[in-house]
Amino acid sequence: MLVLAVLTALSPLSMDIYAPSMPQMQQDLNAPAWLIQASITGCLLGIAVGQLFWGPVSDRHGRRPVIVIGMVGWTLASGVSIFAVSGWMLVATRGVAGLCGAAGIVAARSVVRDLTHDAHAVAGRIGVLSIATALAPILSPVAGTFIAGWWGWRADFVAMVVLGVVIVVAFIALVPESLPADRRLQHATPVGSALVTAGRNRELAAIAASLGVLCIGFYAYIASVSFVVEQQFGYSPSVFALVFGTNALAILAGNTVFRRLVRTRRPTGPMGAGLLLGLLAAMALWLGAAVDAPAPLLWAASTVYCASMGLVFPGAHSWGQLTLVASGAASALTGAAQFFGGAIGSPVTGLVGISALHLGIVAAVASAVALSIWRVAQGAAQTPTPAT
């Protein structure tokens, strides 16, 4: 499980590890700030599109070759990023890294499904992998600050290369092929298979859409909270690290609750509870910012908001794995929805204004729409659709 968890975390980690160094990167590459920030959006889009490709391919050709090829590509792209000489080169290399790294995210979840036959155990283990993807972009800026502080921003990409080599070797040595030839789909087309799966399973499509909309708010929070903490409230980077640290602990706490609940419940139940909790927390953040509430109260609201992600993320991803025979395609749908939402959400607060008030509004609206879509998913569940 540790190797699989790291596989799912690598690409999300690589999105934000260099975020604290962006001002220096802007100077060194003589590039505008928007172009450096676009490298994160490019990585997000690469992860989203890549999952639509790699998921069905892994259903057809097995998990090991997909993961090995994808992670070797991710490592090479990270290596080229070390030598970036322009902003556009950085955007290109991070986009390719996202496309390749998506293989680890989508196929690792399918490995769990292949090797685990009890539905409740599948949900619990998928929950662990889902939280790895949620924690990585929160914890990676802290690691990036330390690495770049000692050796400069290019060292962040050196660290990615080293980590990539280690995880590829560990995967080859420790994780066997989980999908035997006789269980592979014989007629799977990469993108088309995923889209057909979405059309045939209305509940899964609605769950994926709910997750994607929610991630607009969540990734907007990740992208802008450092500006809110340091610029709006005037706190130091160490306080920002403390805020992100408590956010990470809150996500872990939510995931712990999820794994207990799914021992006796469908994963979509805790997901719904998480969506409602997240909506209430986002509304508290919005209203608190509107009345100039003290920063610690806003911090508390944002911590509860992050805890709700520990219920929603694993609920959405594990339900996809339990619903369809083609687990790679199911993983591709929910994973792509998550990162497409992230690609939309990351720049959105920069467009409407970076402040605690705008952050609360974006998070609350996204949570409300996501909860409404989840309700549609529960209605779709009353009319079963055949597994694909």
- pLDDT at residue 262, as a whole number: 82
Amino acid (one-letter) located at 387: A
CA 203 to chain centre: 21
Q: With cut-offs at 50, 70 and 90, classify the pLDDT of residue 385.
A: very low
Contact between 80 and 93 (Cβ < 8 Å): yes
Dihedral sign, CA of 194, 199, 202, 205? positive
- pLDDT at residue 327, as a whole number: 62
Residue-wise pLDDT tens digits, 53-95? 888 888 788 889 999 999 999 999 999 999 999 999 999 999 9
Structure tokens given for 112: 């769990």
- pLDDT at residue 186, as a whole number: 64
Q: Which of 258-262, 344-348, 351-355, 373-377 has the lowest average pLDDT? A: 351-355
* Structure-model confidence comparison of residues 304 and 178, the more confident one: 304
Residue-wise pLDDT tens digits, 148-197? 888 889 999 999 999 999 999 999 999 888 877 777 766 555 556 555 65
Structure tokens given for 167: 């995880």
Amino acid (one-letter) located at 334: T
* Structure-model confidence comparison of residues 248 and 134, the more confident one: 248
Q: With cut-offs at 50, 70 and 90, classify the pLDDT of residue 20.
A: confident
Percentage of the chain beyond pLDDT 70 is 91
**Most confident by average pLDDT, 13-22, 216-225, 237-246:** 216-225
* Structure-model confidence comparison of residues 6 and 161, the more confident one: 161
- pLDDT at residue 78, as a whole number: 95
Q: DSSP class of residue 294? A: -
Q: DSSP class of residue 337? A: H
- pLDDT at residue 351, as a whole number: 75
- pLDDT at residue 332, as a whole number: 80
Alpha helices in the chain, H assignment, sequence order:
2-16, 22-28, 33-61, 63-82, 87-115, 119-151, 154-174, 190-200, 202-227, 237-261, 268-290, 295-323, 327-345, 348-352, 356-380
The residue among 203, 185, 175 whose CA lies nearest residue 56 is 185
Q: Which of 142-156, 282-296, 340-354, 357-371 has the lowest average pLDDT? A: 340-354
Burial class of residue 150 (count of CB atoms within 10 Å of its CB; 0-12, 13-18, 19+) = exposed
- The secondary structure of 346-377, three-state, reads CCHHHHHCCCHHHHHHHHHHHHHHHHHHHHHH
CA dist 214 to 171, 202, 341, Å?
32, 18, 7
CA dist 191 to 258, 312, 336, Å?
31, 25, 11
* SS3 category, 175: coil
Q: Which of 128-142, 159-173, 337-351 has the lowest average pLDDT? A: 128-142
Q: How many CB atoms lie within 10 A of CB 73?
A: 19
Domain 2-179+186-380: CATH superfamily, name plus number: MFS general substrate transporter like domains (1.20.1250.20)
CA distance 382 to 201: 12
**Most confident by average pLDDT, 30-39, 197-206, 337-346:** 337-346
- pLDDT at residue 388, as a whole number: 44
Alpha helices in 182-236, H assignment, sequence order:
190-200, 202-227
Residue-wise pLDDT tens digits, 224-273? 887 788 888 888 777 877 888 899 899 999 988 998 888 888 887 889 99
CA distance 57 to 329: 9
Residue-wise pLDDT tens digits, 274-303? 999 999 999 999 999 999 999 999 999 999
Contact between 220 and 345 (Cβ < 8 Å): yes
- pLDDT at residue 321, as a whole number: 66
* Structure-model confidence comparison of residues 119 and 291, the more confident one: 291
